Amino acid sequence: MLNDEHGSVTAEFAVTLPSLILLFFFGLEILSGITAQQRGEAVAQVIARSITRGESQKTIDQIMRGNFPHGKLSVSDHDGVVTVEINDNEVKARAKGFRPQ
């Protein structure tokens, strides 16, 4: 009777292992995307704060290029509200800053 089940654990492990590996790497990919999004939002906040403090365009470009070298930065200013948008391959982030009155 034991001989009939010999190797069944190995076979079950061999069938289950690829699925577990796939789930592990899928989880890592999701975590990587979330981390990149949070980083984008943090950089957008720093840029918005820098603009409202009156930092130079060179400083703002350095912040952007240091974090997203190939990203696109859009800035709009309406009634003292500065909106910063960052668009990169996997990141789309937005932050607002308010100019002191």
Q: What is d(CA 13, CA 85) in angstroms, rounded to the nearest whole number? A: 47
Phi, psi of 85 (to 5 degrees): -125, 135
Return mean pLDDT, the chain.
Answer: 91
Helical axes 57-67 vs 8-52, angle rounded to 10°: 180
Question: pLDDT > 70: what percent of the chain?
Answer: 94
- Looking at residue 1, its pLDDT comes to 47
6 pLDDT higher than 80 = no
- Per the CB < 8 A criterion, the answer to whether 60 and 18 are in contact is no
Q: What is the pLDDT of residues 69-95, one digit of tens each?
A: 999 999 999 988 999 999 998 899 999
